[in-house]
Homo-oligomer: A and B are copies of this chain.
Amino acid sequence: MLFAEALTSALREEMERNPKLILLGEDIGRSGGVFRITVGLQARFGAERVVDTPVAEAGIVGSAVGLCLSGLQPVCELQFDAFSYPALNQILTHVSRYRWRTQGKAPMPMVIRIPCGGGVRAPELHSDSPEAYFCHTPGLTVVSPSTPADAKGLLTSALRSPDPVVFFEPKKLYRHLRGEVPDGEHLVPFGKVRTAREGSDVTLIAWGAMMEIALAAAEALATEGVSSHVCDVRTLSPLDEEGLLQAARVTGRVVIIQESPRNCSVASELAALLAEHAMYDLKAPIKRVSGFDVPHPYYSIEHHQRPDCARVVDAVHRILEA
């Protein structure tokens, strides 16, 4: 099943199961969304449950807050990564705080789906990886799948979460990644890393579209006799701290791979976590292979910005030497 199809099937099955789910976003109805993730859903569930909204992200997320208060469970699609920014005020001040502000009485069981990442030859502001803004915000659960099975399983969990979930969908994977997806109901719990490959020399930690790079690097390293342990973070916030510490301890050498800029990012948090809690298990400096602290470049030169296999392999060489 395609990654995109896995997402669609999670939405479809949960909407069948749970009449409180309502989808809203720009162009998700008749057109099925610019990435075709909601295709067929309006025809199936009607225009009252799959709602085309005005071009107004704060309006979308803000009215989702109200929809939650009315007892519904809204699923917002924000069209591209950078178009989540107009909704940040709602997300930071209300979505993430309403449960807390009402001591649990008014939870916000909403999902905010955001296609993310580069490598798709897109115009400016269509290739950001903004997860850190959300991870820095207490009250949100931030998730990103890297396989079709996880796309379905994590999205299903998101759709059943009592807390607001920001769900990052690497747009590069939508129609390029195909994989097995278990039949029927499939839930992947939040807060559990996935071991994508076992190994003993170095631990590669990644998520989303960067898992492809991590696994390719692991392959390349294997040909040199270096054995990589590859860990998929999956839940970017709150982190599976135990799982991550264990993954680091397996080898004592860690490379973290991410697409976003580096400063105050998820990779920063992962490195900090290890520096606080796994220091005595580490054999070498931690390495971050990350997007640089520059805006995501024009697409003809975005390959310089996006971590690739060569950069990961180089980082591994350096910490093996270290």
Chain B residue contacts of A96, Cβ below 8 A: 295
Q: Does A97 contact B (CB under 8 A)?
A: yes
User: Nearest Cβ in chain B — how far from A81, in angstroms?
Assistant: 11
User: Nearest Cβ in chain B — how far from A91, in angstroms?
Assistant: 9
User: Nearest Cβ in chain B — how far from A197, in angstroms?
Assistant: 23
A286→B100 CA distance, assembly (Å): 30
A264 touches B275 (CB 8 A): no
A237→B264 CA distance, assembly (Å): 10
Chain B residue contacts of A272, Cβ below 8 A: 267-272, 275, 286, 288
Q: Does A88 contact B (CB under 8 A)?
A: yes
Q: Does A263 contact B (CB under 8 A)?
A: yes
The interface bits of chain A over 70-94 (1 if a CB of B lies within 8 angstroms of the residue's CB, else 0) are: 0000000000001001101100110
The interface bits of chain A over 246-278 (1 if a CB of B lies within 8 angstroms of the residue's CB, else 0) are: 000000000000001111111111111011110
A279 touches B286 (CB 8 A): yes
Given contact pairs A101-B295, A268-B272, a sample of 9 additional A-B residue pairs in the complex whose CB atoms are under 8 Å apart: A82-B92, A85-B93, A88-B88, A135-B264, A136-B263, A138-B263, A238-B263, A269-B272, A276-B288
